[in-house]
């Protein structure tokens, strides 16, 4: 599956890019597995996703949890928790 993955805040800084179009393996079926796959890909991913519980995600602009399936997704955004004030 080809998927655009966008990175924000310190995730973007650690990945070194704002977004990537990736060919995701069939074994990657949900957000949690995607984060683990990105972490295992290279040093940048290992740094960005060393604490996967801190990562938030949106699929096609809708906030989703780590068990959310990727099927049919066009874009996944990955970012740290956001606080307001």
HSE of 2, CA atoms in CB hemisphere, 13 A: 1
Q: Pairing relation of β-strands 2-7 and 19-23?
A: antiparallel
How much is the pLDDT for 84?
60
Model pTM? 0.94
Query: pLDDT tens, 52-83?
Result: 999 999 999 999 999 999 999 999 999 998 76
How much is the pLDDT for 82?
76
All structural domains of the chain:
2-79 (3.10.20.30)
How much is the pLDDT for 15?
97
Query: pLDDT tens, 31-55?
Result: 999 999 999 999 999 999 999 999 9
């Amino acid at each position: 599956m080809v998927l655009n993955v966008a990175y924000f805040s310190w995730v973007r800084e650690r990945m070194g890019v704002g977004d990537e179009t990736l060919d995701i393996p069939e074994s990657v079926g949900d957000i949690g597995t995607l984060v683990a796959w990105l972490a295992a890909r290279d040093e940048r991913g290992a740094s960005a996703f060393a604490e996967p519980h801190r990562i938030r995600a949106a699929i096609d602009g809708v906030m989703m949890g780590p068990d959310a399936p990727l099927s049919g997704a066009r874009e996944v955004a990955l970012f740290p928790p956001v606080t307001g004030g």
